[in-house]
Copies of this chain bind each other. A is one copy, B any other.
Amino acid sequence: MTDLAQKTDTPPLNFGVIVFPVFQALDAFGPLDALNTLAYEFPLNLAIIAETLDPVSTKPPVVVSQNINPRSNFSESIVPTHTFDTAPPIDVLLVPGGKGTRDPKTVQGAIDFVAKVYPSLRYLITVCTGAGIAARAGVLDGRRATTNKMNWATSIAHRKEVNWIAHARWVVDGNIWTSSGVSAGLDVVFAFVAEVYGKKAADNVANILEYERHTDSKWDPYAELYGLKDSSAS
């Protein structure tokens, strides 16, 4: 058995998730809770990686032009376990999206981290506008990928070297799995678990979460809802 075959036969052990201010909670916690549950059956580790070890909040800034209600005070904070500088070796990196991805100051650290670690990853999974982070890291150049559908134009403008697929719940190209907006993170991670850990494991976790998953990567009423077309790499 070659090293490569051996590596392929052993399911990934070490997961990482990037968090940054104003990440979208479900982008991260949908996939993470499926993996929390998978971790009952398979040995899995998780590193939660951010700029610093301070709690990272979903709290949006008050931006009246984006219809963010300045009278609301509604957010949650997650606690990182590692920084971009102290992250352990990772097999699978999960990159959520959220309004924070629009602010270069907020996400530059995440972009640099993805660019740095991608060569050593076995898989990269992005949810929603997390694809825009991967795109800016340059790792999607020449690849097929998808992203959030409501903020499509903003997302794909990050990088024209990507073959952006509008009509897709998720897209797999090589070892990069990109998904559509927010709740699509659940479907992409279940598809990933089915492919890498086996369909039985994915079905088992879905039945525990009582989640009726979309198993067709082309299912995407939101591309139509928002009137989108594919954008070929230029």
Q: Is the CB of A40 within 8 A of B25?
A: no
Q: Is the CB of A39 within 8 A of B69?
A: yes
Chain B residues contacting A73 (CB-CB under 8 Å) are 44-46
Interface size class of A (residues with CB under 8 A): 35 or more
| A167 CB-CB contact with B under 8 Å | no
Q: Given A183-B211, A207-B222, A208-B181: A74 and B29 within 8 A (CB)?
A: no
Q: Can you tell how many copies of this chain the complex includes?
A: 2
Task: Find A43's partner among B71, B207, B214 (CB 8 Å cutoff).
Answer: B71
Task: Find A77's partner among B24, B78, B211 (CB 8 Å cutoff).
Answer: B78
Q: List 27 A-B contacts (CB under 8 A).
A: A15-B74, A24-B36, A25-B32, A25-B36, A26-B29, A26-B30, A29-B29, A36-B76, A39-B74, A40-B60, A40-B67, A40-B69, A43-B69, A43-B71, A44-B69, A45-B72, A45-B74, A46-B76, A55-B55, A77-B79, A78-B79, A149-B210, A150-B207, A150-B208, A182-B209, A212-B214, A212-B221
Chain A residues close to B by CB (< 8 Å): 15, 24-26, 29-30, 32-36, 39-46, 48, 55, 58, 60, 66-69, 71-79, 148-150, 180-184, 186, 207-212, 214, 221-222, 225
